[in-house]
């Protein structure tokens, strides 16, 4: 059992060579239907894939489609930083070919369990660690540099969701060459879909009044998004040890919110925070407590139950609370590259 978590240009040189080779192979047999992953009703020949948090399950499911069996591990609405997998997860991990995790030290208990239970030839693939060079690591409020763990929430930035999809597609294609063209085509379609969503995001964000694109959140989930789209993260309530902030820290944040002159601050649907509500009241701003980090809206099978649905929900919420017009995002059609057949633990 191996863990794939290379960084930087070495990864991309290797992956590019793989994609080019697979693309040539696929072009030579494009008229032949892919058969691996669908050659028997009992699943013989299909890849067995495990994933961790729901956004990664959704992204990988958009690439694997009906050619591989994808099952999530971390229940939606769970604190993925502290999630301890139950014994039932060991049985799943003992039978999979690959586990796609975020990496960047997000799912250490799950990785430890996988290392002790997976088959020798199975692998753990750290999509986030592969996508993000160390030079681009962000250390911040809940993830200070002295703690040694960079902020792992890449998937809230659409450009990294695309990288996850491409990395997963290349890896699936290597493991299942007969379906390589299918996986790689799905990744390209996913990229095009995200490009359309990016345009809707930018149109909505352009309506937010000058100076309002500032975030004070409970859980520190949006630094890569903020850096990419020109927002400012002015603070996060949840300390690195996941305890409540001290009274001094709360007082400092109240003054910071007043000085920032923003109309709203944001709590998490997963992490209710009376402290953040108190900060909102004392600073005289709206407290919006519905942001989601990795809990997909709706139920499995719903159009909004997807990485794309999650991102639209969060960015509509932010845009409206900060005084903008979210109609460009609300009008964006939630659609999938292929039907989502992944399994999501609830």
The three-state (H, E, C) secondary structure of 100-144, written as one string? EECCCCCCHHHHHHHHHHCCCCCEEEEHHHHHCCHHHCCCCCCCC
Q: Which residue has the tokens 């409970």?
A: 218
Mean pLDDT per block of 10 residues along the chain (346 residues) reads 48 41 40 33 76 97 98 89 87 96 93 91 96 95 89 97 98 97 98 98 97 91 96 81 76 88 88 84 93 92 96 98 98 95 93
How many CA atoms lie within 13 Å of 126's alpha carbon, on the beta-carbon side? 22
Q: How far apart are the first and last CA of the chain?
A: 28
How much is the pTM? 0.86
Please report, for residues 130, 187, 192, the alpha-carbon distance to residue 167 in angstroms, rounded to integers and kept in the order given. Answer: 8, 9, 16
Instruction: Could you please state the CATH topology (level 3) that the domain comprising 2-198 is classified under.
Output: Rossmann fold (3.40.50)
pLDDT at 242: 62
Region of 332 (left: φ > 0; alpha: ψ -120 to 50; beta: rest) is beta
Same fold, 2-198 and 205-330: yes
What pLDDT shows up at residue 33? 28
Domain ranges of the chain: 2-198, 205-330
Residue with tokens 């305890």: 243
Residue 331 and residue 308: Cα distance in Å, rounded? 13
pLDDT score at 25: 40
Distance (Å, rounded) from C-alpha 29 to C-alpha 293?
41
Q: Nearest to residue 205, comparing CAs of 295, 114, 328?
A: 328
Q: Which CATH superfamily is domain 205-330 in?
A: Nitrogenase molybdenum iron protein domain (3.40.50.1980)
pLDDT, position 43: 52
pLDDT of residue 118: 93
């Amino acid at each position: 059992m191996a863990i794939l978590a290379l960084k930087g240009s070495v990864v991309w040189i290797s992956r590019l060579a793989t994609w080019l080779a697979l693309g040539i192979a696929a072009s030579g047999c494009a008229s032949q239907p892919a058969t691996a992953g669908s050659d028997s009703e009992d699943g013989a020949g299909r890849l067995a894939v495990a994933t961790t948090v729901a956004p990664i399950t959704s992204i990988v499911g958009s690439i694997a489609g009906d050619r591989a069996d994808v099952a999530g591990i971390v229940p939606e609405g769970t604190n993925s930083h502290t999630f301890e997998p139950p014994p039932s997860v060991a049985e799943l991990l003992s039978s999979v070919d690959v586990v796609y995790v975020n990496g960047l030290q997000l799912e250490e208990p799950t990785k430890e369990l996988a290392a002790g239970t997976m088959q020798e030839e199975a692998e753990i693939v750290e999509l986030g660690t592969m996508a993000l060079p160390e030079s681009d690591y962000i250390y911040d409020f809940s993830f200070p540099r002295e703690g040694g763990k960079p902020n792992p929430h890449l998937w809230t930035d659409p450009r990294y969701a695309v990288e996850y999809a491409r990395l997963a597609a290349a890896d699936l294609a290597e493991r299942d060459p007969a379906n390589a063209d299918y996986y790689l085509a799905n990744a390209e379609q996913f990229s095009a879909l995200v490009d359309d969503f990016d345009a809707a995001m930018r149109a909505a964000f352009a309506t937010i009044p000058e100076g309002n694109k500032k975030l004070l959140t409970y859980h520190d989930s949006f630094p890569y998004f903020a850096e990419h789209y020109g927002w400012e993260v002015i603070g996060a309530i949840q300390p690195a040890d996941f305890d409540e902030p001290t009274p001094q820290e709360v007082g400092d944040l109240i003054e910071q919110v007043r000085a920032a002159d923003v109309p709203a601050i944001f709590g998490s649907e997963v992490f209710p925070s009376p402290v953040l509500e108190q900060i909102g009241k004392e600073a005289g701003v709206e407290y919006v407590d519905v942001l989601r980090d990795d809990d997909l809206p709706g139920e499995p099978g719903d159009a909004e139950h997807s990485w794309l649905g999650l991102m639209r929900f969060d960015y509509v919420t932010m845009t409206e609370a900060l005084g903008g017009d979210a109609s460009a995002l609300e009008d964006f059609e939630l659609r999938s590259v292929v039907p989502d057949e992944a399994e999501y633990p609830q």
